[in-house]
Amino acid sequence: MADEVILLDFWPSMFGMRTRIALEEKNVKFDYREQDLWNKSPILLEMNPVHNKIPVLIHNGKPVCESLIQVEYIDEVWPGVNPLLPSDPYQRAQAKFWGDYIDKKVYASARLTWGAKGEEQEAGKKEFIEILKTLESKLGDKIYFGGETFGYVDIALIGFYSWFEAYEKFGNFSIEAECPKLIAWGKRCAERESVAKSLPDSEKIIKFVPELKKRFGIE
C-alpha cells in the first residue's frame, strides 16, 4: 500500500519548514496543504485538537503534531535514506538538546526584533544575537551542526535563516556582522535541494512581516 502523506502548513512558518525539509530529505512524496491561520480549516482543528497549530503531518490518516517530533518520526519511519539523527545515543541526546534549545529560545527573541519597539526591541535584539552566538560556537568550524552530515539540529534552525533578512531590516541590525559563521552555514544549507525546495525567499518574508504585524495588531 502506498503511503499517504499530507502536511498541513503555512508557507512562512519556520516550524513547517522543518517537516518539509525532513520529508524532502527522505524523498517522500507529500500533499502540501496551505492553511489559513486566521480561519482555521476543519481538518486542522480535527487533526490537532489540542493546539490547533501547524504543522500537522498526517500519515495514512493519523496525525503527528509538533515539528521536531515530526522530524524524528519521519527519520524513524523512513530510515533507509539520509539519516537525520545520529545513531550513537550520546550524539542523539546532544542533537535533541540543541533542538530543544532552539525551540525554547530562538523564536521568542527573534519575534521581538520585528514585533517590538524601543527598549523592548533593543533587549530582544541583544538576546537574539546572544542566542545565535551560542549556536554559532556550538557549530564551530564544522560544516553542519552534526559534523559532516546535514541533520536534525540544522533542520531545527534553518527555517529561521529565511527570516534573517526580515529581522535585520525591521530590527535595523546585521546578523552577519555578529555571526558570520552562522550566515555561512545558512548559505551552505540553502544550497541543499531539500532546503532550497522548502524555504521561501527572504524577500517574500520581508513583504509578509507588515501584514503579520497588522494581524497581531502591532503598529
What cell does 175 get? 546578523
Q: Say if CB 182 and CB 136 are below 8 A apart.
A: yes
Q: Interaction with another protein in 148-177: which residues (CB under 8 A)?
A: none
Which of 4, 34, 97, 177: binder of another protein (CB under 8 A)? 97
Nearer to another protein, 12 or 99 (CB): 99
Q: Is residue 101 within the footprint of another protein (CB under 8 A)?
A: yes
Half-sphere exposure of 177 (CA within 13 A, CB side): 5
Q: Looking up cell 560556537, which residue turns up?
A: 137
Residue 90 as a binder of another protein (CB under 8 A): the answer is yes
- The mark string for 44-63 relative to another protein (x by CB under 8 A, - otherwise) is ------x--------x--x-
Instruction: Tell me how far the alpha carbon of residue 117 is from its chain's centroid.
Output: 25
Output the nine-digit C-alpha cell for 94. Answer: 546532544
Alpha-carbon torsion (44, 47, 51, 55), positive or negative = negative
Least distance (Å) from another protein to the CB of residue 104? 9
User: Which residue is listed with cell 525546495?
Assistant: 197
| One of 9, 72, 136, 154 touching another protein (CB under 8 A) | 72
List residues near another protein by CB under 8 A. 50, 59, 62, 64-66, 69-70, 72-73, 76-77, 89-90, 92-93, 96-97, 100-101, 134
